[in-house]
Amino acid sequence: MAYVKWGFWGTFWLLVFAVFHYTLPQNDIVRIVNTYEERQELNDWTRMFWSSPDAQSAELTNRDVQFIQGVKPDGEAMVYRNEDTGWGWPFYFKFDTANLYTEANDAISTKDAPEWVAVRHYGWRNEFLSIFPNAVRIRVVEGPDVSFIPWMNIIILTIFAAIFWSIRVRWVRFRRARIDPVIEDVGDSLADAGDSIAESRGRLRGWIDRMRGK
Amino acid sequence: MAGFARLLIIAFVLLTVLYFALYFHLRANRRDRLLAEYESMGAEAQETKVSQELVAYESRLRRGLILGVYILPFVAMVATIYFTNFH
């Protein structure tokens, strides 16, 4: 039974971690190589990894999506999509997709004269599912070795931990004060019931034995 | 603008739930603290004193909660919009 409990909570926290890892912003240093726009067919379950079009019908299964192609300092390719998040989840309120596209095109550079940019993005890149992280901001940086302290992530995670902890403390207190005594009472009355059943059984058996002439 | 309206409505509903939950919870905490503080008085004097202080607390609490639960997320949203789109 303990395995079920641990399994449940483990899955829950894994899900929470996955949601945070997907939604919170990360920074990548890349050299932008090109941009393109491609029509996407969004008619299967991976639809959740793409933005939902605000002003268009929710039933629209294909639309044009902009992409930004970059190369990381180690030579590995990294492709971002460029979509509005609009007023919905995740709450980046990104509306300036076209502006970002222009900035990305402005930052295109070659291998000989690289211009390194920091791309703030959220989401996962998965080649098998063909999903791309959504670029939120592009900023020119001096070189490929710049590092960032994720202040926003730290603040958000601290606030979440504080809220979770405060709720948990109050829940434990409540349980100790209200629920545990009730469960003890229930346990006591169940034990009493068991005792009286055993007693009745004992008496019944005695009567049967007497009838059988023991 | 339908998306904005939707966000406002959903946020308003959720924040109102949070507001009332926090209001009653914090008020009950305050009441317990006051009762413990005025333990030594007689039952009636304690009741009057506690209810007096609670009334004073309520207006402060209401103001603080409106600020924290309604205004703060709205300001955060506006700040996010500014820094994301007009950096």
Arithmetic mean of pLDDT over chain B:
88
Handedness of CA A61, A67, A73, A76 (dihedral sign): positive
pLDDT band at B37 (very low <50, low <70, confident <90, very high): confident
Long-range contacts, stretch A45-48, CB < 8 angstroms, 24+ apart: A46/A129, A46/A130, A46/A131
Cβ–Cβ under 8 Å, residues A52 and A87: no
Burial A146-170 (b: 16+ CB within 10 A, else e): eeeeeeeeeeeeeeeeeeeeeeeee
The alpha-carbon gap from B5 to the nearest alpha carbon of chain A, in Å, equals: 9
Of B7, B84, B87, the CB nearest to A87: B7
At A107 the pLDDT is: 93
A88 vs B: CB within 8 A: yes
Q: Do B7 and A96 touch (CB under 8 A)?
A: no
Tens digits of per-residue pLDDT, A88-126?
A: 888 899 999 999 999 999 999 999 999 999 999 999 999
Q: Is the pLDDT of residue B36 over 90?
A: no
Task: Provide the 8-state DSSP code for A147.
Answer: -
Complex prediction ipTM = 0.74
At A57 the pLDDT is: 55
Residue ranges of chain A whose pLDDT lies below 50: none
Which of B79, B1, B80, B7 lies closest to A92, judged by CA?
B80
Which residue is it, tokens 């995740």?
A90
